[in-house]
Structure 1
């Protein structure tokens, strides 16, 4: 047990995937590291739980595609260290109307960045994936490096690695006060700690920790229904049968993206979800999932009916997840405007899991006052001009 006088190089608040990778990078470099989590691990109240997440290089912003190059290498490195498979390549199929601007942007970025991909006009798409029904004018783009990350397994592996590397992981310790300074003091429900630097990766609870520090970020917490759909014929959308992950842009009248991961294992359940939800308080992550007639599920039902006829027309299993969105859906990776030994990682907007190896590296670099490996202009707090500094 840590004593009050023990001085850490860094304390990380929040043991989701971003906090775990931050602590991993710190501990791997010999830094005295403490990872704090308010809930007992494992838990399903935040954004990082669940069996699977999509990994892809197909993005509509060059900087994410560039970051993903290193992310893939770091995921493989973690697999080797742990002796555990965390990634399975399936390909990522982008579905859209040919003239969709985002589709065209992603295609141009993949070409510019030298990422292996394949454009699939309608007829060729039907030949490759006959169990996808297409409307007139819909085409595909296959990011061949795309696939599935095993989310829960990755969290466990990272927490174990942090401990093995000499770091400490304390769960069931909610932070109730942060006192800026050198050192920074962190008071939890059970004890007090001090560190040279602090990294906050608290997901939906970020602004509650930042408010007493004089800053509020423009974050919106959304509660997302995670839907699993049963195959009519087991294996028709299976990973072992070569079915890819997919991302559908503006199809079936959906104003936000629909995404899916192939079925794996015995139950024959395919994960198909809507990349949006309802505004919620963080504690609503504890509530049961919404009924299957909610608006987002109705959108998914139409999409499944129109494009995935081999699935049952209603979800078999509903779970939930929390998104913490920024207005532009880009992350916040920055130091506090007043306290430069307090670093903030927030606003991962439902697409941050795959990027967490590099996000954790960047947050480690910021906390150690190192030159960041990437241009952080898209992730600076200062990009939000409405953020007044009256409290700073």
Structure 2
């Protein structure tokens, strides 16, 4: 196949991270190609679905600091995309054992960044949060700035703006080969392209793509059951009744977070999920039938959410690509500095897409990154491996 075109940068993977990377490059007048293996829009990866939680409540302050700019960039995208509504402020109710490190660290982060936060005593909780039982020993606080991101709408908006800025999107083109060098050559199922730099944001397919440039990272793909539960009394947990998003930081049912969003996308159904799933591969996800996460949710909801039918009414699926420490990979290839990797978003990357895209675009252009990238460098995995030997 002959070379189709030369670009300043090629971005592989049109999920939220790749799309924002391409958008930031196009804003800098770089000739950019965004490649996607599936026909858009699709529901095979990690960026589909109607909603995500947006929050500053993090136990690591570096994410909370990045979120300050993310809110600004999400608002900017809303304005650029003809005032499309991408975010709804609902607040985020954080519950968890008061002595647990993560709960205390979230509290400290919110206080240090002066995020408007309401701390609820047990009496205040029962007054202000109906139809939820706060577990013994659990504390509760509300990040009032948090809310719901409209995910499908957001992905469509950023891709639309990239296109308006002169960016090129080619979907239905699976990458078959990558030849790194001063000029990177990318072959797809139908064409060949060249660019001065390459950004790989391939989500659950990252391992396959990274092997083509000689990299191996400790990434694990998980299939997550995205569950919707029926309100016994319609509207009890509805967004219009000011029911917030929530995050349960550890519970007696399971060690991982449980998170939920108010009923809105499906009438009479509230979205509640367990922040972990079963190991799979991206092409085999529909063969994964483990429901142990649903069992945990059923027990938790029966105990803490008496207004819900504790049997899921709808179960969809999503993929998480996990790193060992649940922090992202944002880095340059150790040999080819013009090959940039964004991977391992570990089920909490969507909200951070605007800043992640900005950082990956900066790396691809050889610019000084806007944030300290030491928590996201690949070298940390080698360090852990040496420590274990």
Contact 2:278 2:288 in 1 (8 A): no
Find the aligned partners of 2:306 and 2:384 in 1 and give their Cα distance: 47
2:348 is matched with which residue? 351
2:74 is matched with which residue? 75
Find the aligned partners of 2:155 and 2:188 in 1 and give their Cα distance: 22
1:52 is matched with which residue? 51
2:357 is matched with which residue? 360
Find the aligned partners of 2:65 and 2:135 in 1 and give their Cα distance: 33
Contact 1:46 1:322 in 2 (8 A): yes
Bigger mean CA deviation after superposition, 93-102 or 161-170:
93-102
Which of 286, 291, 306 is the equivalent residue of 1:309? 306
Contact 1:244 1:261 in 2 (8 A): yes
State whether structure 2 residue 377 is matched by structure 1 residue 380.
yes
Cα displacement (A) at 1:387: 8.7
Show CA shifts across 1:15-56 (max 9, x none). 000000001101111110100000001111100000000000
Equivalent residue of 1:316, what SS?
strand
Contact 1:14 1:38 in 2 (8 A): yes
State whether structure 2 residue 358 is matched by structure 1 residue 322.
no
Equivalent residue of 1:70, what SS?
helix
Show CA shifts across 1:268-301 (max 9, x none). 110000000000011124x27747xx21100000
TM-score by length of 1: 0.95
Residue 59 to residue 387, structure 1, CA distance change in 2 (3 Å)? closer
Equivalent residue of 1:195, what SS?
strand
1:224 is matched with which residue? 224
Residue 385 to residue 56, structure 1, CA distance change in 2 (3 Å)? same
Equivalent residue of 2:110, what SS?
helix
1:63 is matched with which residue? 62
Find the aligned partners of 1:275 and 1:364 in 2 and give their Cα distance: 29
Find the aligned partners of 1:3 and 1:116 in 2 and give their Cα distance: 57
Uncovered stretches (5+) of structure 2, i.e. residues with no partner: none
Find the aligned partners of 1:177 and 1:265 in 2 and give their Cα distance: 40
What is the 5 A alignment of 1:121-140? 121-140=121-140
Cα displacement (A) at 1:266: 6.1
Cα displacement (A) at 1:386: 6.2
1:279 is matched with which residue? 279
Find the aligned partners of 2:265 and 2:232 in 1 and give their Cα distance: 15
Show CA shifts across 1:142-173 (max 9, x none). 00011000001111111111111100000000
TM-score by length of 2: 0.96
2:159 is matched with which residue? 159
Contact 1:229 1:314 in 2 (8 A): yes
Residue 92 to residue 77, structure 1, CA distance change in 2 (3 Å)? same
Q: How many equivalent residue pairs?
A: 385
2:10 is matched with which residue? 11
2:172 is matched with which residue? 172
Find the aligned partners of 1:16 and 1:288 in 2 and give their Cα distance: 23
Contact 1:223 1:284 in 2 (8 A): no
Find the aligned partners of 1:169 and 1:295 in 2 and give their Cα distance: 39
2:111 is matched with which residue? 111
Contact 1:14 1:200 in 2 (8 A): yes
Contact 1:289 1:320 in 2 (8 A): no
1:238 is matched with which residue? 238
Contact 1:122 1:137 in 2 (8 A): no
Cα displacement (A) at 1:3: 7.5
Cα displacement (A) at 1:137: 2.2
Find the aligned partners of 2:218 and 2:232 in 1 and give their Cα distance: 43
Cα displacement (A) at 1:69: 0.3
Contact 2:301 2:308 in 1 (8 A): yes
Find the aligned partners of 2:318 and 2:220 in 1 and give their Cα distance: 14
Residue 30 to residue 337, structure 1, CA distance change in 2 (3 Å)? same
Equivalent residue of 1:324, what SS?
strand
State whether structure 2 residue 129 is matched by structure 1 residue 95.
no
Uncovered stretches (5+) of structure 1, i.e. residues with no partner: none
Residue 387 to residue 3, structure 1, CA distance change in 2 (3 Å)? farther
CA RMSD of aligned residues (A): 1.7
